[in-house]
Structure 1
Amino acid sequence: MTYTKQLLLVCFISGLFATAQNKKFSLEAIWSGNFRTERLDALHSMNNGKQYSVLNFDRASGTTQIDVYDYKTSNKNKTLVNAANLEGLDRFSDYTFSADETQILLATEVTPIFRRSTLGKYYVYNLNTNVLELVAVEKIQEPTFSPDGTKIAYGYQNNLFVKDLQTGVTQQITFDGEKNKIINGITDWVYEEEFAFVRAFEWNAASNKIAFIRFDETEVPEFSMDVYGTDLYQTQHVFKYPKAGEANAKVSLHIYDVAANTTQDVEFNYADSDLYIPRLTWTNNPDLLSAQVMKRHQNELDLWLVNAASNQSQIILKERDSAYIDVTDNLTFLKDNSFIWTSEKDGFNHIYHYSKEGELISQVTKGNWEVTNYYGFDDKHNTIFYQSTENGSINRDVYAIKLNGRNKTRLTTDTGTNSAAFSADFTYFINTYSSVSTPPVYTLHYAKNGKEIKRIKDNAKLQEKLADYQMAEKQFSTIHVNGNDLNMWMVKPPNFDATKTYPLFMYQYSGPGSQSVANSWHAANDYWYQLLAQKGYIVVCIDGRGTGYKGADFKKVTQNELGKYEVADQIEAARKLGAQAYIDAARIGIWGWSYGGFMSSNALLKGNDVFKMAIAVAPVTSWRFYDTIYTERYMTTPQENPSGYDDNSPINHVDKLKGDYLLIHGTGDDNVHVQNTMRMVEALVQANKQFEWMIYPDKNHGIYGGNTRLHLYTKMTNFIDRTLGN
């Protein structure tokens, strides 16, 4: 080969390499799922503690199956059930084992109702007999095995039913359920959204009693949404939605005796009947039920023990706070019925151990950091496993600690976000690790010391794909604003030149207890921020006061005045960043979704000398329009705190609009109603303020489906280019 040919070949290869390294992101690539990560779906630790099961989907055949793997070797041991071998069942989307793992509940034809609730057809597959049985002909809610595996309880049309799997007989146990009036055993809209659960019934350990919550929605005001669909006439979706200060559902607690076919009512001796029952948990004693009961202001929480045999109740623990109390999911009753509890009572979220009478035995964890997840208690080794922010508020690590608070061991070593799934006997755990530079990696570890045994799955293919792209580093730091060091990340254009000036585009959510600045792998928006950086924007996110994982005082400073301190922090941070030589202070924008849309609207209006533009997606524009549980937790009621509701609501500051404003909402948003945007639009019109807006018909709070996300982000990108670009 001649020198000239060699030179041409080298130049050609170098050109290809340079091109590969400079591939740019596109909206089409981002929203087509090109950068989706691989996961371990529906992982379940088997009772023997040596194996785990995973739901696998065969794209070629379109069927699903449950495969069992060995923890130590990661080898597949067997397939428990394959939809291809089940007559009349092509696939299933989820599964649940009976306690003895001889039966599997398979979910099919699942359709969403609201954020967490679904309807579906469910089958029980018996691994001993290979028999597949339909639980009910109708689509049902929350089917749940009894602990002995002989029965399934479920909800249907606001009533509860119990099916005997041995006889095939179904018994209806409540009869007064009626749409928009009475719900038995399934939560109403506001409980589902704000207390984050749907199944409001629980089996006891002996499988002979079911505790359930009854919701009387009769006096709750109705909200209606037009559903435009494709027919000639639109339909209307009407449901009960208690807005701040309005009537809640009246809740009551009941215990059904399966053998006697009788139901007893549980009485709580409160003078005020306006209560919440956000959690039910049976103790190891099949006659003792625990119930967490909160006053409407949510600054008082009582843990009750209810004796189903004597129908007597007592409070064994009281939590009080000047602001609010977060409901705990971590209540764990030990063999002696002492219990583990998490609380912020010392200023940070920590683990506590109480006697069965509710006397404090010990505070298990302590320090100026937060316990962010409780994984469970290993009674064989007297050890608690948990996740925390001890390695910095933007990171997560997994720890083990003795019940008495001694011998604390950090089980994960890589800095970033670590999350554990433990085997049933706490011999092993599968760690999911990611960071801003590492996509999710799944590794197997010994629980006793955290030693890694092997890598199960990673996202090396995704990393290889991204190696071809022009990726800018997401840089973590803090910014000192209004007396606080606030967590911040920044993405600069790939070929950043400090002698040039760039427009600044800020993202935030900022809701109470939230976190947007975290050392974890990218979500879809992060690729969008890379696209914007490639266009020449500096993108920044700052977690201001009111956000989480830095202690209760930092989080609860916004109490009774949502939108005051959080907005002040974003405005001042933008002003401070705008003073940097490489940022064009005349071209600063901000955006957010939901609470973030409330924030971006306020920032543009109150900070009209700082922000040139804002995008608000599905924003709250007045807290008077939002639900009771969330809003009153932070604001009390509008009747008690009118100025808190009105002084910081964007709808009351439209006269301050100077910059460019894009308002976006879905008409099918059952959470933050499109009413917020409609009222904001009317206020802007009457103030003679020009703005842009986009409505997505029948789309809910997530605004997705088909090409919707691509259209939405194209709309926003074009708006950014037009208002902040050169």
Structure 2
Amino acid sequence: MNAQGFPRQFARTRRFSLGVPRRFTVSPDGGRVLFVRSDAGDDPVSRLWLYEDGSERVLAGPRDAGVVPEAERVRRERARETSRGVVAYATDREVRVVAYALGGELWTVRTDGDGTAPRRVPTAGPAVDPRPSPDGTLVAYVTGGALRVVRTDGTGDRLLAAPENADVTYGLADHVAAESLGRMRGHWWSPDSDALLVARVDTSMVQRWHLADPARPGNAPRAFPYPAAGTANAETTMHVVRVDGERVAVRTPAAADPEHHVRGRWTDTAFEYVVTAGWDAAGPFVNVQTRDQRTAYLMGIDPATGETSLLHMQRDGAWLEFVPGAPTRTAAGSPVLAFVPPGGDVRGLRTAGHGAITPPGLNVREVLCTLGERVLFTASDEPTEVHVWSYGPDSGLVRLSEGPGVHTAAAGGGTVVLDSLTPEGHTVTVLRDGKPAGHIAVRAEEPLVTPRPVRLSLGQRELRSLLFLPSWHEPGAGGLPVLLSPYGGPGVQLAVRARAWWAAVGQWWAEQGFAVLMTDGRGTPGRGVAWEKSVHGDQLTPVLEDQVDALHAAAGYCADLDLGRVGIRGWSFGGYLAAGAVLHRPDVFHAAVAGAAPTDLRLYDTHWKERYLGHPGVLPENYERCSLVEHAGKLTRPLMLVHGMADDNVLPAHMVRFSAALLAAGRPHTVLPLPGSGHLVTEEGVADRLLLLELDFLKKSLGC
């Protein structure tokens, strides 16, 4: 096992993400599959590919990607995009016309084998998020905050919606929608290609924050709207904009009906969030959510008048956790809804015509698509695995994926593209009528270290965990310092039956002489509603408690763990957890590396932080309990703070304020700023050296 060159490989491959096919689209007849992928595991330039008749070919690849427009740069940051080139695309209904943007230029290419090369389509300015009309004759795109449309032959470019001032955009997602709600888009075509449902975002009421580059003092700071907890959100309104220029405002209710709203100590019934939107054969729709996140209305829209009607209402006493892809509708217009049955603890699916379509105990993770009246979705009956399921009125419920792993899929016609991350690696299988018909190549590099996790269920709460031991360690030899390497927060699982990048990193740390433990505690997904919501009002105490319990249970499983030398490292929420561990439990944790840690939770965005802790003006005790700055004086253990100085998600202010509080309290600590790095640090020369600096710090701090 060659562990010496691993850090450089880890950085060079962008966490082994290069060469991995993704963003699959299957044509309605099942004959063509589109995807993006770079040529090799160390190639950062992504290209557009077509799989057809059992073989793949490049449809489009950049000659020169050019300068990425600011709106596109922000979109890629929200999407955690690690490559350049063709990283996103959209198609017409039949998947024959494809549109994509390169360096602000709009390009189209056809998939139907007519031999034409990609064609550049002239635009009025740098193009962002181009999307062909369903009939393939037009492309809508955003430039300078304006929504425009152009024919695919390059003629007839015209303005559909112009921003009234510099604070307004049409057709784009705001920060909260993209970062916290997972909605990356802001315009949707009508099935008849004659109109679009468009999001108008006004950020004039949102506070402006400024992000400077300390390494380049000659550059002006970048100002951007950031709605921190307790402050004003952007105002998002919906509009139906016809291709001929006619426009109708969508009239959604201003607030939820108080009689049907679950109240709490902090209650705000104003509909401030647009969770999802779309336009299908049954018409346009929008799903809006209240500021306190306890109520959501799915509204049908009359495209002629903008009037709305309530299709479905969701309520929750803590917060609403939405299943990605739901609600949606089948071809006949039947709603597909996620729900938690009375007395149940997992999310199921139901349709208007057939009631519940998932059995008790099957936890729905995502609705992938509908094919006629058939629904394709992912779900778990064991938290460490995710499988692809299909439901049809005639076929019933069928599991499409086999073997342990984390599986997802795309589908069209009788074709399913099964994307599988398993303990053995990553595969993409093309199924036709349920049977394997081919594979799409995964060109990612094999890690220089092979993960050897021991999968455990630890303690009274059966905490799903991965334990990595050195390949050379002899049982009973003792003396292994312990390194906890959790994420531990909402939305992310690490202890899964799949060979993900973090498993390779865990094994690398083990090869340096550590016993490495990764645990998914309360608040992480996959274990049911009560498990997720057990952190309501306190995102630190139960999460930290689970890490401590898992550590002690792991020591009971493997007596070679040295509980006198325990370190913890993490990034983002994991960094927050690492810093919190040495502040609050120095009796257990002896050193920590905290990367991109949100230390003052009042500085994080409204939707994500108010979901768990409420409004800081009404429930300040939740923020005081969970924020780290207030507890800086408790530090008695070695702590390294690491932060990207261009991070516009968890701003560097978190690190600076925490460091200032530690200094004021007379607490020594180490600060490592990363100039030019954002929230996702993957740059070669940075990500690799960071691993080695962490190793040096922890070995010295733990006396290894």
TM-score calculated relative to the size of structure 2: 0.87
Q: Which residue of 1 aligns with 2:351?
A: 353
Return the match for 2:388 from 380, 398, 422.
Answer: 398
Residue 223 of structure 1 and its aligned partner are, at CA, apart by 0.5
2-side partners of 1:297 and 1:251: how far apart?
A: 16
Give, as a single letter, the amino acid of the residue that structure 2 aligns with 1:262.
R
Mapped pair 1:104 → 2:98: yes
Contact 1:25 1:527 in 2 (8 A): no
Match of 1:337 in 2: 333
In the TM superposition, residue 150 of structure 1 has moved relative to its aligned partner by 2.1
Matched, 1:409 2:388: no
The one-letter code of the counterpart of 1:651 is V
**1:562 counterpart = 2:539:** yes
Cα distance in 2 for partners of 1:39, 1:61 equals 10
Q: Aligned partners of 2:517 and 2:153: how far apart in 1?
A: 60
Counterpart CA distance in 2 for 1:642 and 1:256 is: 43
Q: Deviations over 1:217-257 (max 9, x none)?
A: 11111110112455x61321001101100011122222112
Quick one: distance in 2 between partners of 1:95 and 1:47?
A: 17
Map of 2:272 onto structure 1? 275
- The number of residue pairs the alignment matches comes to 664
Q: Are 2:304 and 1:313 aligned?
A: no
1:339 Cα shift?
A: 1.4
Tell me the distance in 1 between the aligned counterparts of 2:701 and 2:44: 46
Q: Retained in 1: the 8 A contact 2:593–2:694?
A: yes
Aligned equivalents of 1:240, 1:614: Cα separation in 2: 32
The alpha carbon displacement at 1:354 in A equals 2.2
Q: What 5-or-longer segments of structure 2 have no aligned partner?
A: 64-83, 257-268
CA distance in 2, matches of 1:714, 1:270: 52
**Secondary structure at 1:707 match in 2:** coil
Q: 1:612–1:409: structure 2 CA closer, same or farther, 3 Å change rule? A: same
Match of 1:196 in 2: 182
Q: Is the 8 A contact 1:571 1:603 kept in 2?
A: no
2:209 corresponds to 1:223: yes
Query: C-alpha separation between the residues in 2 aligned to 1:41 and 1:265?
Result: 34
The answer for the alignment partner of 1:484 in structure 2 is 461
Alpha-carbon distance in structure 2 between the residues aligned to 1:108 and 1:528: 33
Q: Identify the range of structure 1 (607-616 vs 135-144) with the bigger mean alpha-carbon deviation.
A: 135-144
From the superposition, tell whether residues 447 and 394 of structure 1 become closer, same or farther in structure 2 (CA, over 3 Å): farther
Residue 256 of structure 1 pairs with residue 235 of structure 2:
no
Tell me the residue number matched to 1:500. Answer: 478
Structure 1 window deviating more from structure 2 (369-378 vs 317-326): it is 369-378
Deviation at 1:108, TM superposition (A): 1.5
Shift of 1:651: 1.4
| Of 480, 496, 519, the match for 1:518 | 496
**CA offsets 1:87-122 (integer angstroms, 9 cap, x no match):** xxx97555433334443324312xxxxxxxxxx211
What amino acid sits opposite 1:123 in the alignment?
Answer: W
For residues 593 and 256 of structure 1, the distance between their equivalents in structure 2, rounded to whole angstroms, comes to 42
Q: CA deviation at 1:166?
A: 5.8
Partner residue of 1:16? Answer: none
In 2: Cα distance, 1:91 partner to 1:635 partner: 39
The one-letter code matched in structure 2 to 1:634 is Y
After superposition, the Cα gap between the structure-2 partners of 1:52 and 1:218, relative to the gap in structure 1 and judged at 3 Å, is closer
Residues in 2 aligned to 1:39 and 1:370: alpha-carbon distance in whole angstroms: 27
- Equivalent pair of 1:369/1:393 in contact (CA under 8 Å): no
> 2:75 aligns to what?
none
* Residue 46 of structure 1, CA deviation: 2.9
What amino acid is aligned across from residue 396 of structure 1 in structure 2?
V
SS at match of 1:568: helix
Instruction: Write out per-residue CA displacement over residues 563-605 of structure 1, whole angstroms, 9 at most, x where no aligned residue.
Output: 1211121123334445663121110111111111111111111
Contact 2:129–2:141 under 8 Å retained in 1:
yes
Which residue of structure 2 lines up, in the alignment, with residue 3 of structure 1? none
Moved more, 365-374 or 90-99: 90-99
SS in 2 for 1:238: strand
* Contact 2:3–2:511 (Cα < 8 Å) also in 1: no
> What root-mean-square deviation, in Å, do the aligned CA atoms of Structure 1 and Structure 2 show?
3.1
Q: Is the 8 A contact 2:385 2:405 kept in 1?
A: yes
Helix, strand or coil for the counterpart of 2:671? Answer: strand
What percentage of residue pairs aligned between the two structures are identical?
20
Describe how 1:64-83 pairs up with structure 2 within 5 A.
68-70=50-52, 74-75=54-55
- Letter matched to residue 138 of structure 1: G
- SS of the aligned residue for 1:566 comes to helix
- Whether contact under 8 Å (2:484, 2:568) holds in the other structure is yes
2:134 is paired with a residue whose SS is coil
Aligned residues of 1:574 and 1:588 also touching (Cα < 8 A): no
Residue aligned with 2:622, SS: helix
Aligned pairs for 1:31-42 (under 5 A) are: 31-33=11-13, 36=16, 38-42=19-23
Change (3 A) 1:81 1:432: closer
Give, in whole Å, the separation in 2 of the partners of 1:35 and 1:413.
Answer: 26
Distance 1:430 1:306, change over 3 A: closer
Distance 1:142 1:121 in 2: 11
2:8 pairs with 28, 44, 48, which one?
28
Q: Which has the larger radius of gyration?
A: 1
- When residues 534 and 704 of structure 1 are mapped into structure 2, their CA distance, relative to the original with a 3 A threshold, is closer
Q: Residues 472, 314 of structure 1: CA spacing in aligned structure 2 closer, same or farther, 3 A cutoff? A: closer
Q: What letter corresponds to residue 220 of structure 1 in structure 2? A: V
Give the corresponding residue for 2:70.
none
**Change in 2 beyond 3 A, CA 1:708/1:79:** closer
Match of 2:678 in 1: 700
In 2: Cα distance, 1:130 partner to 1:650 partner: 58
How far off its partner does 1:184 sit? 1.8
Aligned pair 1:473/2:452, yes or no?
yes
Alignment-derived partner of residue 304 in structure 1: 299
Q: Name the CA distance, whole Å, in 1 between partners of 2:315 and 2:588.
A: 40
> How much does 1:641 deviate?
1.1
CA distance in 2, matches of 1:575, 1:666: 33
Q: Which has the higher contact order (CA 8 A, sep 6+)?
A: 2
1:694 CA displacement: 0.5
1:257 and 1:724, CA in 2 relative to 1: closer, same or farther beyond 3 A?
A: same
Residue 430, structure 1, aligned to residue 417, structure 2: yes
SS, match of residue 664 in structure 1: strand
Q: CA separation in 2, counterparts of 1:189 and 1:54? A: 26
